Amino acid sequence: MKEIALAGNANSGKTTLFNYLTGANQRVGNWPGVTVERKAGYLKKDKAILLQDLPGIYSLSPYTPEELVTRKYLLEKRPDKIVDVVDATNIERNLYLTLQLLETKIPLVVALNMADLLNKQGRRINTKKLAYLLGIPVIKISALKRKNIDTLVGEMQKKQATPEIIPKYDPRLESALAQIAKQLQGIVAKDELRFYAIKLFERDEQIQAELKLDAKRQETIACLIQTAEKIFDDESSSIIINARYDFISRVMDQCVIDEGDFSLSISDRIDLIVTNRFLALPIFFGVMWVVYYLSIQVIGTAGSDWLNDVLFGKYIPNFTEELLRSWHVAPFMQGLIIDGIIGGVGAVLGFLPQIMMLFLCLGILEDCGYMSRIAFVMDRIFRRFNLSGKSFIPLLVSTGCGVPGIMATRTIEAEKDRKMTIMLTTFMPCSAKLTVIALIAGTFFKGQSLAAPAAYFLGIIAVIGSGIYLKKTALFAGDPQPFVMELPAYHLPKLDNIVRYVWLKSKGFVQKAGTIIFASMVVIWFLSNFNFRLEQVPEEESMLKGLGSLLAPVFVPLGFGDWRAVSAVLTGLIAKENCVATLQVAFGNPPQARFDQLLIAAYTPMAAYAFLAFNLLCAPCFAAIGAMHKEYGDASWTWRAIGYQTFLAYLVAMLIYQISVLASGNYSIYNVVLVLLGITLIVYGLFIKKSKPQPLEQTIEMRGSEWSQR
């Protein structure tokens, strides 16, 4: 079996190429010991070749889990070949990684992707000259348009020798590297001498720990580095960075012809509008309004109505009831299957069309390149409120599921920023919470298209407000970390990428409904149909009502101090989809139209929206809580996060309902006091004096020096 690694910068088109080369012959998991996704697959045209899709990275200096995983794999596994996917429209930055891959002396092929966009930019690249200067094959391709892929596959199948030409830098630097390499002879393989010499010159702590050199060698190497730093009058890591970019500049001068240096590309012209200081936010709000309007109000609702009213409202229950009667199944078991399982799980699956439509819209936005612009726009806003722009990426991931969103915080180096982001990530409405949004917006706010997107922006407001408050406390005080990101060129979304994205997200939702929700519905049905003496009784006398009634008074200020709604809040801790299913079962599993009527009769619209706000912001599901505990590594931090989330949810939901009572004109001094108390707490949190930060160990800014040297 021949193993080939696909490497490259983020947004270089590497994953698009991998998906095309492997098709359905791929498997997805996590790299051992980390949450970084691992993709592997067999080449469609040659099953003897296994492709490893390495995480998108910018260098082999391990400041992120992705970089650590990639470097460890390359050094330990040493694949037969590396295909370096280079974004031809950003060749200067991409070649920085190429040089480091060359230093590993693993056979390397450069796939110059997005070559079709070069002419539009007024740029030409002489691939023959580039291949000569680098000493490796260079092939122009377009992964998106499937151009020249066969030529690349042919090059991948060839047996290739170890690269002989290695980039040579300043002679003074080369002399120091040669002296360090001498100290490593007999310790590392001959082909790896230069790579390890450079890493030691950079003072890479992980490489130093891995080699375990004796004291004499360490002292000699330290002296060589100090001498070089005096000669160059710079730090050793910056010396290497400058040397690489000097080499890249020479390559660019000889291989790249720019005819349109001062002309704006189509992407640049679009960005002048969508990232404009004044237009960016209104455009973002408009885009999200369209996304939720299509998902909740129009296309998604049409599909959900059919599933709720026809499939799970008539066909499946009627067929199952006749089948169970013909089998003479006991009445209580019929109730469990029809009312509990089919009614409960069906109430959740009924929202599948809306969720599919939501992910279809998000998939299009991500594939065309707009999501990167959203992160850029929100970074500009976040930094005004002492939040790191890096926090927005986990928040964006959380719109699919809070668990990977929490795990995505590992890319945030600053410990305080990371812990705070973990605490705030689940404020964003995930696919599970979309079922609650769809229920409330579709039942109480029909025809009001702002109700659903308002829930999305409520999560963002909660994040920003919390950032202002928490950054003033001693636990999180300190300056946020800078955010370096890439804005890829706009392009038309690829249909197969979007279909795969929607399929995987929808499949996960259905699997959850068939496992966690299924098991939950059995328990909820039992609690709603039996009393504490295990006698079958109506819902009004059940254990579920008894348990919900215990906490119901706590939620009276929120407008839904009712055992049914409180029970839904509690079961929502297992999975947020349970909120809808529990209400369905607690109201006797009526048809969808009747269920809507019962909800409207039981709660006012603003009480229902307070219910939505509370479930949106309160402690997440058990799976997300488990992920929080794993990332914090500390139970006290986990409880601190859960406590803050629940308190904020209670405060916001109370204000939503109590302010609506005041607006109605039918209020008492009790309502006035609650509103004043809530507003006072928020004003105090936003305007209290900032605490001094506690001493923290010095953190390393991710590639700060690399980017500053560019």
- What six digits make up the tokens of 329? 């199944």
Measured from the Cβ of residue 270, the count of other Cβ atoms closer than 10 Å reads 16
Q: Is 623 annotated as a binding residue?
A: no
Q: Which amino acid is at 512?
A: K
Report the alpha-carbon distance of residue 563 to residue 551 in Å, rounded.
8
The values of phi and psi at residue 145, to 5°, are: -100, 5
- DSSP-assigned beta bridge partners for residue 82: 5, 108
* 477 touches 693 (CB < 8 A): yes
Diameter over CA atoms, the chain = 92
* 111 touches 94 (CB < 8 A): no
The values of phi and psi at residue 700, to 5°, are: -100, 125
Report the alpha-carbon distance of residue 34 to residue 637 in Å, rounded.
21
Q: Is 470 annotated as a binding residue?
A: no
Q: Is 458 annotated as a binding residue?
A: no
Q: Is 56 annotated as a binding residue?
A: yes
Report the alpha-carbon distance of residue 642 to residue 388 in Å, rounded.
21
* 228 touches 178 (CB < 8 A): no
Q: Is 46 annotated as a binding residue?
A: no
Mode of pairing for the β-strands spanning 46-53 and 37-43: antiparallel
Q: Is 35 annotated as a binding residue?
A: yes
Burial degree of 233 (CB within 10 A; 0-12, 13-18, 19+) = exposed
Q: Is 13 annotated as a binding residue?
A: yes
Q: Is 9 annotated as a binding residue?
A: yes
Q: Is 22 annotated as a binding residue?
A: yes
Q: Which amino acid is at 648?
A: L
Report the alpha-carbon distance of residue 653 to residue 621 in Å, rounded.
19
* 258 touches 422 (CB < 8 A): no
| Planar angle of CA 346, 359, 13, nearest 5 degrees | 145
Alpha helices in 83-214 (DSSP H): 91-103, 127-134, 149-157, 171-184, 193-201, 205-211
* 266 touches 490 (CB < 8 A): yes
Q: Is 33 annotated as a binding residue?
A: yes
Q: Which amino acid is at 104?
A: T
Q: Is 54 annotated as a binding residue?
A: yes
Q: Is 176 annotated as a binding residue?
A: no
Cα separation values, 631 from 356, 398, 400, 525, Å: 30, 15, 19, 34
Q: Is 37 annotated as a binding residue?
A: yes
Q: Which H or E element spans position 585? A: helix 578-586
Report the alpha-carbon distance of residue 509 to residue 575 in Å, rounded.
11
Which residues contact residue 635 at a Cβ distance below 8 angstroms, ignoring those fewer than 6 apart? 629
Q: Is 308 annotated as a binding residue?
A: no
Q: Is 115 annotated as a binding residue?
A: yes
Measured from the Cβ of residue 285, the count of other Cβ atoms closer than 10 Å reads 14
* 406 touches 631 (CB < 8 A): yes
- What six digits make up the tokens of 274? 């969508």
Nearest CA among 98, 153, 159 for reference residue 131? 98
* 403 touches 429 (CB < 8 A): no
Burial degree of 229 (CB within 10 A; 0-12, 13-18, 19+) = middle
Report the alpha-carbon distance of residue 402 to residue 624 in Å, rounded.
6
Q: Is 55 annotated as a binding residue?
A: yes
Binding site for GTP: what residues are annotated? 8-15, 33-37, 53-56, 113-116
Binding site for Mg(2+): what residues are annotated? 19, 22-23
Binding site: what residues are annotated? 8-15, 19, 22-23, 33-37, 53-56, 113-116
